[in-house]
Amino acid sequence: MLKTHACGDLRSEHIGQEVTLAGWVHRRRDHGGLIFIDLRDSRGLAQVVFDPEDAPDAHAAARNVRGEYVLSVTGEVVARRGSTENPNMPTGEIEVRAASVEVLNAARTPPFAINEETEVEELLRLRYRYLDLRRERMQRNMRIRHRTVAYIRRFLHERDFIEIETPILTNSTPEGARDYLVPSRIQHGSFYALPQSPQQYKQLLMVAGFERYFQIARCFRDEDLRADRQPDFTQLDLEMSFATEEDILALFEELFTGLVREVRPDAKLVTPFPRMTYAESMRRFGTDKPDLRFGMELCDVSDLVASSEFGVFSNAVKSGGVVEGICVPGGAEMSRKQVDSLTAFVQGYGAKGLVSIALLGEGAVDTLTIEDVKSPVAKYLSEALVRGVAEKMEAKRGDLLLFVAGEGGKPKLDAGSAQRVKPALDGLRREVASRLELADPNTLHYVFITEFPLVEWSDEENRWDALHHLFVAPFDEDLPLFETDPAAIRSRAYDAVCNGQELGSGSVRIHQREMQERVLRLLGISDEDAQARFGHMLEAFEFGAPPHAGFAPGIDRIVAQLAGEEDIREVIAFPKTKSGADPMTGAPSPVTDEQLEVLGIRVVEEREEP
């Protein structure tokens, strides 16, 4: 046999047994006489000793092996002597005294170290991903991913959900991002699309009477990539009939809670999960993806500064804009250079600048004087104004107040630079928390965001767009707003957010044809176009479609958080670069003219601008 035991499984109870191990040379140490090799497999490491007196042939072979050679070693498990035990190694009480060895495969010197964690340029890691995956960190991440998916399946099976696969080749529909298209060889000029999500199929499964469905679904979106996006990704797709928002959110709170305790029991989990409307989240944090591990909530002080002598504040309010800020605990100790760097930071979000007020001294804030204030605009501030702002922001002496002002613009759809205030403060809040290490990396703080707007205005398209997707149900009490104020219509949609990152979205779905057609008309889709593109859905709703709701959190994002990784590429076996390329295989790549001819496709060369 090439292997009787796993390297990492050997313990003191195996002493005296003859074993055969197989794996990779993790480290090799030649002490002049004895040769020590740490042999690695997927279960861990075992130390193998090659003694020239006990096994001269095996010792001679061991002299020629190098890192990442693949070996099969047979020998006796023995106890390590006294001080040679290694308490930092699960197999540190024993070693294997080699009797024979077989080199199963030699190895070139790897382009980077496999047996230690060193910084390696990303393109090099992806070019040799099969080597990168051998490293301890990546082995750990892949196992966390496996345990996560295994737990999810077990959890849902126990609650009577059934797993159903849906097609990968489907019809192109607007889902918010560009589709990846697949040409049909049989029907020239026609194309399949790879699914952005199984949205329509899972709703049709509810019509089909499968009341509880789930799938670990592969999804595809042709969009710009970043740390939490890949062109092909995996999500947990779930749908329930006769379910409300509360049913779905309660289920997922139970799922996430159990998952964290199963996969990352050392993490601090904040329970119960808070619920927050979109409007509240935007007001308090300036984003629909708030990080709740620290404070520094946004505070609107427009009413207090409207008549201020500081023109930046008063003019912003007079023009219909806003002045909002955050309170940085203990931030009064920040240097001028540090505050200036934060000013440059918010300017990257389109803000014109940042105003800082440091509260110095001791005592209550209601005794503050101008002498207790350090600010580049101190001469424009009154004691009453500083005290009022400090009290409203619940600040203490020693804190730093940071403000962003945004002027109003055209009424209704365009609020001018005031639109940039909340995004700038959201970014500032996260940046300050990062610099001051306010966010505990071992805490997982989930929150459900609810009651999103149903639609948002697209200046580019000059029409309303669905904020989530086309099949989200509106609140019944908001139906009169379809004709009067579409921007105010609330949807029965919800997001799961953890530590400032969106994990997934869901909603109560539309299940009646009349309501679906009404939403499609609001989005500028005519009845004729709706029938051509969504006729199968509209018709299905006429055959007793039950009320239903669903959720689709991203597996990659969930696993990245459980693994403590910031980039989902660290938990995907073979990811793409941010340009959508695979350096290992060379994808995407040109194909031959013969292949294109079979598909009835001709490549048009891009013309250079004159």
CATH number at residue 43: 2.40.50.140
| Cβ neighbours of residue 125 closer than 8 Å, sequence gap 6 or more | 112, 132
pLDDT at residue 323 greater than cutoff 70: yes
Mean pLDDT to the nearest integer, 472-490: 97
Answer yes or no: is 321 within a domain: yes
In a domain, 592, yes or no: no
d(CA 430, CA 422): 12
Query: Same structural domain for residues 315 and 428?
Result: yes
Same domain, 450 and 526: yes
Q: What is the CATH number of the domain that holds 208?
A: 3.30.930.10
pLDDT of residue 413: 38
Q: Are residues 422 and 526 in the same domain?
A: no
pLDDT band at 139 (very low <50, low <70, confident <90, very high): very high
The span from the CA of 122 to the CA of 182, in Å, is 30
Task: Please say whether the beta carbons of 449 and 284 come within 8 A.
Answer: no
Q: Is residue 284 part of a domain?
A: no
Cα torsion 367, 370, 371, 375: sign: positive
- Average pLDDT value for residue range 442-450: 98
Among 422, 438, 454, residue at a domain's last position? 438
pLDDT of residue 175: 54
**Backbone φ and ψ of 213, nearest 5°:** -120, 145
519 plus 565 within the same structural domain = yes
* Average pLDDT in the chain: 94
What pLDDT does residue 119 have? 94
Higher pLDDT, 83 or 572: 572
pLDDT of amino acid 174: 61
Q: Is residue 181 part of a domain?
A: yes
Q: What is the pLDDT of residues 53-94, one digit of tens each?
A: 999 999 999 999 999 999 999 999 999 988 889 998 999 999
Domain boundary among 105, 126, 150: 105
Asked, for residue 286, whether it belongs to a domain, the answer is no
The pLDDT score that the predictor gives to residue 67 is 96
Q: Which domain holds residue 77?
A: 7-105
If asked whether residues 382 and 468 sit together in one domain, one would say no
Phi/psi of residue 274, each to 5°? -70, 155
Question: So what's the pLDDT on residue 418?
Answer: 74
* Residue whose C-alpha is closest to residue 383's, from 326, 327, 309: 309
356 and 382 housed in the same domain: yes
pLDDT of residue 411: 44
Whole-angstrom distance, CA of residue 420 vs CA of residue 374: 26
Of 386, 419, 438, the position where a domain reaches its end is 438
Contact 307, 314 (CB under 8 A): yes
Contacts of 549 (CB under 8 A, 6+ apart): 239, 240, 243, 244, 245, 247, 248, 492, 506, 507, 508, 509
Q: Is the pLDDT of residue 410 over 70?
A: no
Mean pLDDT for 240-246 is: 98
pLDDT at 416 over 70: no
Q: Are strands 70-79 and 18-30 parallel, antiparallel or unpaired?
A: antiparallel
Identify whether residues 469 and 423 lie together within a single domain: no
pLDDT, residue 414, reads 45
What number is the average pLDDT over the span 452-464?
92
Percent of the chain topping pLDDT 70 = 98
pLDDT tens for 280-317 read: 999 999 999 999 999 999 999 999 999 999 999 999 99
Q: 453 and 431, same structural domain?
A: no
Structural domain contains residue 466: yes
Same domain, residue pair 249 and 354? no
Q: Distance between CA atoms of 348 and 344, rounded to whole angstroms? A: 7
Predicted pLDDT of residue 415? 47
DSSP 243-277: --HHHHHHHHHHHHHHHHHHH-TTSEE--SPPEEE
462 and 359 in a common domain? no
Query: Which residue did the predictor score with more confidence, 241 or 607?
Result: 241
Is the model's pLDDT at 423 over the cut of 90?
Answer: yes
**Is residue 227 located within the same domain as residue 362?**
no
**How many folded domains does the chain comprise?**
3
Threshold 0.85, pTM exceeds? yes
Q: Classify residue 61: in a domain, yes or no.
A: yes
* 81-85, 102-106, 494-498, 536-540: segment of lowest average pLDDT: 81-85
At residue 309's C-alpha, the angle toward residues 306 and 314, to 5°, is 30
What local confidence, expressed as pLDDT, does residue 604 receive?
A: 87
User: Tens of pLDDT along 349-406?
Assistant: 999 999 999 999 998 999 999 999 999 999 999 999 999 999 999 999 999 999 999 9
Same domain, 472 and 382: no
Q: Is 606 inside a domain boundary?
A: no
Q: How confident is the model at residue 412 (pLDDT cuts 50, 70, 90)?
A: very low
Q: What is the CATH number of the domain that holds 359?
A: 3.30.1360.30
- Average of pLDDT values for 230-256? 97
- In this predicted structure, what is the pLDDT of residue 223? 85
223/158: higher pLDDT: 158
